[in-house]
Structure 1
C-alpha cells in the first residue's frame, strides 16, 4: 500500500479531535472554567434558579448525581442554558465541546457500572448459546425462536452477550422450564421412535387417473415431473411421510433430499427453491437452482422438527416473475419435459423454440430420513440415563456426568445430592423411574450453574480465572457453545494457562466448523448487522429489494469477515479491498457477472464497482438508512462508533426533522437540507465532525446501490451527488475512495477500536479506564503482526486481560 504522509497527518489530526474529550479527563481543567463563566452565577450557594445548584453536585460525573449531570448536558446542548439574555454566552464550539466532554464522562460511568463485578460474576447464556449448548450437551436441537420458545435477547450498542444486560425474570424461568421439558422429551421419548426412510416421485399417477394409460404405454409413468412456473407457485405434495403406512416418527433432526432441475431465461434470474413448513411457519431451506432438464441435481439439507403431527411441507418458486392465469396443476396435463409437444399451458412459459420465458423450477422426487441421532449424541444420552430401573447408583453416576458437563466444572461437595434427592422424592410421589430421573435433569437444565457462566469464588476475592473458567470463556468466544472434551481435559490438567497450548487451541477451534459462529456472531454484533432490514425499504422506491437480497447483504459481510480471519489478512481489508464475497443474488445487485453457484465466493473488484472493504457493502449502507432515504448523519455516527471508537454525543432535543422535499419545489439533495444544521449553533459543531464521515458515501442510496444522481421529489432534474467533504483540520476528499485512503493511512485508532470491540464481546462486559493499558498492549501486539486479524484474536486470548474476571 503506497504511504501518503499528507493523508496520515490529516487523519491523525481528525482523530485527535474526536478523542480529545476522553484523554485524561479533568473536571477542574475541562469543565469547571465553563461552569464558572456561564453557570455558577445562577446556580450556586447564593442563587438557585429553578431550585438547581451546581456547586453541590458530585465531581464523579457518571458515577454519582448522573441524572442531574445529564440534565446539565441537555440544557447546554439545547441552547437553553446559559439563557439568551446573558451578556456573555459561549460560542457553539465551546458548548459542543462541553457537551461532548460530559457525554463522554456519562458514557464512561455507564460502562463502569455495567462492568462492576462482585466476588462471582454471572453471565447468562444468550438464546443462541443456549441452543448450541443444549445440542452439545444432550444432542437435541431446540427451536428457541419458535412461538413459545425463549425470549429475544436485549442488546447494548449492538452487543447481546453482556452480563449486565442479560437479566433473568420470572418469565425467563418459565420459558427455561418448558424448554428443558421439551428437550428431555425428545432425548428420552416415552415410546421408542422408529427410524424411517421414505421417498416418492413428485407426481405419482394411479390407475384410472387421467393420462395414466397413455403414459404407461409410453413407459413414462416414472418420468412425470412437477414444474413450478410462476412466481410464488407452490408444490404442496412434498411430505414423504404420508398415508397410514408412513406415519411421521416424531421430533428430531431429519435429512431431506430433492431431485430438481432449474432452467432460466436468457439474462434472467434462476429459479429459487424455498422449502417452507406451513404448520411451523418456518423456512427450512432456500437455494437458487441451476440444472438442465436432462441433468437434474440433488439438494440435501437437515432440519429439526419439534413434536408435531405429520409435517406440511411446501416447495415454492420465489424467483421474480409474473403470475400466469393457467398452470400445469390447473390443466392436469402431466409434464415430462419442455422438449415434448407443447400443451396449452406450456405456451405461456416457453417461446417457439421451447426456451424458458421465466425461471422454472422442476421437481422430480423427494426423500426423507430420520430422526438422525449421531453416535456421540446417543452415547451422551445413554451416559446420563440409567439403563436399569431403580438402580440409584446408576442415577448418581448419570446425573454426575450430566451436571459436570452442564455446569462446565467439577461438582462441589454435596452438590449432586440435591438432584439425587429429587429422583427419590419423585419416585415416592408415584412418578415412574424415568420421569423421576428426567425431573432431576430438568433441575440441572434450569440451574443457574447451567444457564449462567459463573466466574469467581463466593468465599474469596479472586481476580483471575481458573482453568475451567478459561475453557468456557474460550469456547463461548469462538464457538458460542460449551467446551468440548479436549478443553475439559486440558482444564482438568491445568494446562490452559500455557500460552503455547492456548495458541494451539485457538488454531484448532477456528479450524473447526463451529468456528463459523465466531465470524457470524462477532461481526453481527460489532457492526450492528441485526439492524439490517429493521426499516424495510419502500417497495415503490426500491422494487429490487427483497428478503433474499437482505440476507445476501448480511451474508456478504459475515463471509468477508471469515475470509479475512481464515486467510490471515489484515485490518486494512476492512477499510478497503480489491475483492469481496458475493452470491448470485448480490452479484446481480452489484452488477458483477458470471456468478452462478449459490454460495458466497471471493471475487475481484474493478474500480468501476465502487466497492471494497466493509464501508461500501450494502449491509452497512442499508442499516444506516431508514427505508426511504439514505442518512449521512447516521452513516457518520455509525462509522465514528464502529471504526473510530468514538460515540457522538446525543443530539439536542426539539430539533425539527429533515422533511421530504415538497413536490412543487426545486429538487434538493439530502446534503443540501443538512446544510441548515450548520446555521444552527446547537448543531453546527458536532455536525462538522460527523457529517463528512457520512457524506463520503453519498453515492450509495438507502439500500446501498451506486448512483450518480439523487432521486428526489420536486421540480427539475435530479441533482448530481456530491460525495466530497472537509474534515475539521481543513483537509478534503472528493469521494469514498479518497476517504478510505485517509483511513488506511492511519490504522492505529481502528486497531484500538477493534480490540476494544473484541474484548467487549469476549469478556461479556464493557471496557473501563482500568482496562486501557491491557487493551493497548493487545493493540500493540496486533500492530507488531501487521494488524492481521487472526493474530489480534490470538493476542487477545493470550493476554492477561482474557484471563482476568
Structure 2
C-alpha cells in the first residue's frame, strides 16, 4: 500500500523514509504504556498530511516525512502538539482537501495526546512542574519592605533586569543567578537594613506645616530678570482670582499678614521636563513614612494679546518653505479673572535625583483644598504642576511656539495658595519593627569609632533664620552618622537574634546548621574588631543573599504548608508570607480547603493585593512596556508630552482588572464589558461625556461604545503599536496570544515582514493581501489578522480614527499645536477598514461585532485567563499534560460564569498550585 501511494504521487519520499517516520509515530503513540487503548494511526499521516507536508511543495512548510517523534526534545514535542491541536480543531487537513473519517481522526488525536502526556509526565517526574527559582527583583523588594518594616524602600532598580519566560518573570527558566546578582542582593539588603536602623535613630514626631506659595522662590519668578522674557513661563501674583500688578512690578510687598492665606501664585503653563512642576523646596520629609498632603488653590482665566508672526514648515516632497500668518497669544499677567473650568494639579515627590508622581487633585473656579496621602522617603520634597496646561518647549527662537489652549480672549491657568503637610502618619511612631527584628531591644548609640560604627544616612535640619514649623520641618539635607549597637553578651545575643531573624526570613523552620553557619560569620567579623552591629549586619546580609531567602524552596510532589504559604503569598501579594500565614503553616493547618479559601479572601481584600494586580497586568498585558515607544513627533505630535493620558491609560487597565477581581465578574469582561474605569482625561480621549476630575471611577459605557474590555483600552493599544504606525499583524498576534490563548509560531526566516506605509499610498490591508498569498503565511494569518483588523480603528495611543495619518497625501494637511506649543501637520490618508472574518467563517464589520462574536463562547476566554494566572501563580508554563487540570479549574468556576475571583480560588485549590 505504501509503495503504491508513493508511485501514485510521483513526488513522495522513498518507501524506507516513509516507513521510518510511520514507525516512529506508531512507537511514540504506544510509548505511554499498555493502559493506553489507542495509538496514533500510522497510516493517518500518510493519507491526510503527506500530500502537503512532504517537503516537496514549499521549503517553509512543515515536512512530516523528516519529523520523528522525539519527546525529549522540547522543540520536537512542540511541533507534535501543534499537529495535535490543528487536527483536533479541524484546521488540518484544510478546507478543500479530503476530510478524514471522524472516528479515525479522533483515534489519531487521542493516541497522539496520550503519547505527549506520557512523555511530559515522565520528563517532570523527578523535579516537578516548576523549575526551582529565585525571587524576581520586585518580589525581593517587597520581601525586604515587609520583613524590615520599610515600605518606602526602593531597591528593585538596584537589581539587574529579570529575564522572562512565557511572558512572566516568575520562572526559573529565565531567572538566572550570577556574581553580579548576588552582589546586588547584598547591597540592597544592606541598604534596606540601614533604612530600618535610621528610622529607629531619629523617629520624627507627627507635625503639620503649611507652606505658602509666595515664600517659594521657584514660584516667585515674576520678575523678567529671573527667567528671561517669556511671559508664558512666568509665575505671577494673584489675590482672590485677580491680578496684582503692583506686586508684580515690585511696587507692593509680595505678602502681608492680612491676606496671607488668600495670596496665590498663578501659572498658565506646565513644566516641560519630566521632573514635573514647581518645587516646594522649603520643606523636606524629615523621616520616611506616610504623609497627608493638602493643596489649596483655584483656576483662573488670563487675558491674552495677539501679535502676527511668521513661521514655516516643509511640505510634501517639495522642500520649499511655506509661510503662514497666525495670531500668537501672549498672556497679560496683569489681567486675571476667575477660571472657566476645572484643572488637574499633579503632585510629585522629588529627591535623590528622581521625580515620581504620587497623586493629583482638582482645582475649581472656587477656592479648593485637595487632599492625598503619599509615602515619602527621607529628604524628599514636593512639586506641583498644572498637568493639562501646555509645556513651553522652545525650538529655534523664542518666537516659535503657541499656547494651544489659548483663545482670542485669553487662556486657562491656575493659582496655587499653599501646600500643607501632615506627618509622618506612622502607626508605630518609633518605627521600630524593622530594628527590633534586627537587634531586639538592644540600644543604638552614636559613636565616633569608624572601626565599629555603622554609617546611617539621616536627615538633618539645616534651615536658617526663623523656623516656620516643628524641628525637622525646614529645609533638610542628609548626613551620615556612625552608630553602634550595644550588647553586654555579644555571642549570646547574636545567636538569639540570628535564630529569630532566620525564622522570619527563611519562611520555614530554621535548621541549626543555618544558624551556626551565619554565627561563624559573625564570630569572624567580631573577632576582627568590626563591632557588634557591623558584625551582625554582615551575617544578616549573607542571609538575605543566601538561597534560604532568595530562592523559593519547594520539594517535588505535594507542597508542605510552609511552601504553600510562600507560593500563596508570592501569588497574591508578590511578597513573602505574613505572620498569619506563617502561624497556620507552623500548625499544619493551611492546607485545609476551607482554611485556604479563607486565606485567599483575606489576602485579596488586603491593600497589598494591589501588588498582585500591578505585577500580573505588567506582564500579562505588557503594561511595563508603556514607555518603550513614544508617539511620533511627525504624525502624532498631539500626543507628545501628554503624561496625564499615558498614566491614566495604565491606571484604567489596572483598576479594571482589580474590579473584575474584587466583584468576581465574569471573564468575558476581559473581551467586552459594559463599563470601564475612567477619569476626565481618559474619558475625553474616548469621547465619553460627563466625567470630570482626576478621580478614577467606574463608568457605564454607552450602548454603542467601541470601548469595553481590555483590548480596546488605550494602554493595550499603545503597547501593541510602535508610536508611528499600527500593524494588524502585531496587534493580532498579541491579541491571539494574550487574550485568546492561541499560540502562533514565528514566521519562516525567508518571509519578510510587512511594514505599514506612512506615505498613505496603500493600506496595510492591501499589503497583507499579497503577503497572505504565500501558502506558508496564510494559515497563521487567518488567525492573527482578524483581531488586528478589528483594532485598526484605533491609532498608536488608542484614539478612535476613521482614516490613517500620513506624512504626505492628496488631502490638505490637518494643522494644530501640540502640548509643547510646537506646530504640527499631518495628512488624512486612506480610510480605515476594520472588517474581517474569523477563522470559522463568521464575518464582522467593526470591533464591536468582533467582540460580540468572541463572547458568544465564554469558556475559551476564561481558559486563557486561567492559564495566564496559573503561570503567574506557579512559575511554570501550562503544558499539554496540564490541560485536563485547567479544565477542572474552569468547571469549578463555571457556576459563576467564570468569575475572575472564582478562577483564582479554583487555581489555589488545584493540583497545579498545590504541587511543585
Aligned position for 1:224: 263
Q: 1:667-686 maps to which residues of 2 (within 5 A)?
A: 667-686=761-780
**Distance of aligned partners of 1:219 and 1:479 in 2 relative to their CA distance in 1, 3 Å threshold:** same
How far has the Cα of 1:532 moved from its partner?
Answer: 3.0
Inter-partner Cα distance in structure 1 for 2:117 and 2:809: 45
Aligned position for 1:19: none
**Distance of aligned partners of 1:774 and 1:300 in 2 relative to their CA distance in 1, 3 Å threshold:** closer
Answer whether contact 2:255 2:263 (CA < 8 A) is retained. Answer: no
Structure number having the greater strand percentage: 2
Q: 1:349-498 maps to which residues of 2 (within 5 A)?
A: 357-367=411-421, 369-370=423-424, 372=426, 374=428, 378-386=432-440, 387=442, 389-391=487-489, 392-456=491-555, 462-498=556-592
Which deviations, in whole Å up to 9, do the C-alpha atoms of 1:702-759 show, x marking residues without a partner? 2211122333443367433222212333321222222212111112222222211111
Inter-partner Cα distance in structure 2 for 1:115 and 1:526: 25
Secondary structure of 1:316's match? strand
Inter-partner Cα distance in structure 1 for 2:39 and 2:713: 36
Answer whether contact 2:652 2:677 (CA < 8 A) is retained. Answer: yes
Note if 1:573 corresponds to 2:669.
Answer: yes
Inter-partner Cα distance in structure 1 for 2:139 and 2:279: 36
Inter-partner Cα distance in structure 1 for 2:600 and 2:78: 44
Note if 1:302 corresponds to 2:375.
Answer: yes
Aligned position for 2:295: 259
Secondary structure of 2:831's match? coil
Inter-partner Cα distance in structure 1 for 2:912 and 2:75: 29
Unaligned runs of 5+ in 1: 1-21, 43-48, 74-89, 95-100, 243-247, 326-347, 457-461
Inter-partner Cα distance in structure 1 for 2:351 and 2:834: 47
**Distance of aligned partners of 1:396 and 1:279 in 2 relative to their CA distance in 1, 3 Å threshold:** closer
Answer whether contact 1:27 1:59 (CA < 8 A) is retained. Answer: no
Residues paired across the two proteins, number: 706
More deviation, 264-273/474-483? 264-273
Which deviations, in whole Å up to 9, do the C-alpha atoms of 1:669-728 show, x marking residues without a partner? 221221111222332232222212221222222221112233344336743322221233
How far has the Cα of 1:256 moved from its partner?
Answer: 5.8
Select 1:756's aligned residue among 864, 867, 885.
Answer: 867
Inter-partner Cα distance in structure 1 for 2:199 and 2:785: 63
Q: 1:130-169 maps to which residues of 2 (within 5 A)?
A: 130-140=140-150, 141-146=152-157, 149-169=158-178
Aligned position for 1:201: 212
**Cα RMSD (Å) of the superposition?**
4.2
Inter-partner Cα distance in structure 1 for 2:216 and 2:644: 35
Note if 1:727 corresponds to 2:727.
Answer: no
Aligned position for 2:729: 633
Q: TM-score, normalised by structure 2?
A: 0.69
How far has the Cα of 1:497 moved from its partner?
Answer: 1.5
How far has the Cα of 1:645 moved from its partner?
Answer: 1.6
More deviation, 478-487/700-709? 700-709
Q: 1:534-613 maps to which residues of 2 (within 5 A)?
A: 534-545=628-639, 546-613=642-709
Which deviations, in whole Å up to 9, do the C-alpha atoms of 1:103-128 show, x marking residues without a partner? x99x9999999978638953211211
**Distance of aligned partners of 1:230 and 1:133 in 2 relative to their CA distance in 1, 3 Å threshold:** same
Answer whether contact 2:803 2:832 (CA < 8 A) is retained. Answer: yes
How far has the Cα of 1:40 moved from its partner?
Answer: 7.7
Inter-partner Cα distance in structure 2 for 1:674 and 1:747: 30
Answer whether contact 2:296 2:367 (CA < 8 A) is retained. Answer: no
How far has the Cα of 1:389 moved from its partner?
Answer: 0.5
Note if 1:797 corresponds to 2:908.
Answer: yes
Inter-partner Cα distance in structure 2 for 1:398 and 1:209: 63
Inter-partner Cα distance in structure 2 for 1:772 and 1:235: 52
Secondary structure of 2:553's match? strand
**Distance of aligned partners of 1:163 and 1:708 in 2 relative to their CA distance in 1, 3 Å threshold:** same
Inter-partner Cα distance in structure 1 for 2:635 and 2:406: 31
Q: 1:692-731 maps to which residues of 2 (within 5 A)?
A: 692-712=786-806, 713-715=808-810, 718-731=829-842
Inter-partner Cα distance in structure 1 for 2:214 and 2:572: 46
How far has the Cα of 1:410 moved from its partner?
Answer: 0.8
Inter-partner Cα distance in structure 2 for 1:479 and 1:517: 6
Select 1:281's aligned residue among 336, 343, 354.
Answer: 354
Inter-partner Cα distance in structure 2 for 1:438 and 1:453: 23
Q: 1:731-750 maps to which residues of 2 (within 5 A)?
A: 731-750=842-861
How far has the Cα of 1:499 moved from its partner?
Answer: 0.7
**Distance of aligned partners of 1:534 and 1:322 in 2 relative to their CA distance in 1, 3 Å threshold:** closer
Inter-partner Cα distance in structure 2 for 1:217 and 1:681: 81
Which deviations, in whole Å up to 9, do the C-alpha atoms of 1:473-530 show, x marking residues without a partner? 1111111111111111111111111111111111111111112222222233222222
How far has the Cα of 1:377 moved from its partner?
Answer: 5.5
**Distance of aligned partners of 1:445 and 1:169 in 2 relative to their CA distance in 1, 3 Å threshold:** same
Answer whether contact 1:279 1:312 (CA < 8 A) is retained. Answer: no
Inter-partner Cα distance in structure 2 for 1:570 and 1:449: 39
Specify the structure having the higher radius of gyration (Cα): 2
**Distance of aligned partners of 1:161 and 1:440 in 2 relative to their CA distance in 1, 3 Å threshold:** same
**Distance of aligned partners of 1:194 and 1:477 in 2 relative to their CA distance in 1, 3 Å threshold:** closer
Inter-partner Cα distance in structure 1 for 2:70 and 2:393: 70
Aligned position for 2:102: none
**Distance of aligned partners of 1:115 and 1:224 in 2 relative to their CA distance in 1, 3 Å threshold:** farther
Select 1:515's aligned residue among 601, 606, 609.
Answer: 609
Inter-partner Cα distance in structure 1 for 2:573 and 2:709: 25
**Distance of aligned partners of 1:35 and 1:787 in 2 relative to their CA distance in 1, 3 Å threshold:** closer
Unaligned runs of 5+ in 2: 1-28, 30-37, 83-92, 98-108, 218-246, 302-338, 395-403, 443-485, 812-827
**Distance of aligned partners of 1:224 and 1:65 in 2 relative to their CA distance in 1, 3 Å threshold:** closer
Answer whether contact 1:194 1:249 (CA < 8 A) is retained. Answer: no
Inter-partner Cα distance in structure 2 for 1:399 and 1:69: 48
Answer whether contact 1:114 1:765 (CA < 8 A) is retained. Answer: no
Inter-partner Cα distance in structure 2 for 1:249 and 1:303: 9
Answer whether contact 1:699 1:707 (CA < 8 A) is retained. Answer: yes
Aligned position for 2:741: 645
Answer whether contact 1:349 1:357 (CA < 8 A) is retained. Answer: yes
How far has the Cα of 1:235 moved from its partner?
Answer: 6.4
Which deviations, in whole Å up to 9, do the C-alpha atoms of 1:650-679 show, x marking residues without a partner? 11224334345475xx74322122111122
Answer whether contact 1:532 1:622 (CA < 8 A) is retained. Answer: yes
Inter-partner Cα distance in structure 2 for 1:113 and 1:374: 53
Inter-partner Cα distance in structure 1 for 2:775 and 2:622: 31
Answer whether contact 2:281 2:382 (CA < 8 A) is retained. Answer: yes
How far has the Cα of 1:212 moved from its partner?
Answer: 9.9
Inter-partner Cα distance in structure 2 for 1:27 and 1:361: 79
Select 1:319's aligned residue among 388, 401, 419.
Answer: 388
**Distance of aligned partners of 1:584 and 1:550 in 2 relative to their CA distance in 1, 3 Å threshold:** same
How far has the Cα of 1:463 moved from its partner?
Answer: 0.6
**Distance of aligned partners of 1:190 and 1:770 in 2 relative to their CA distance in 1, 3 Å threshold:** closer
Secondary structure of 1:559's match? helix
Q: TM-score, normalised by structure 1?
A: 0.78
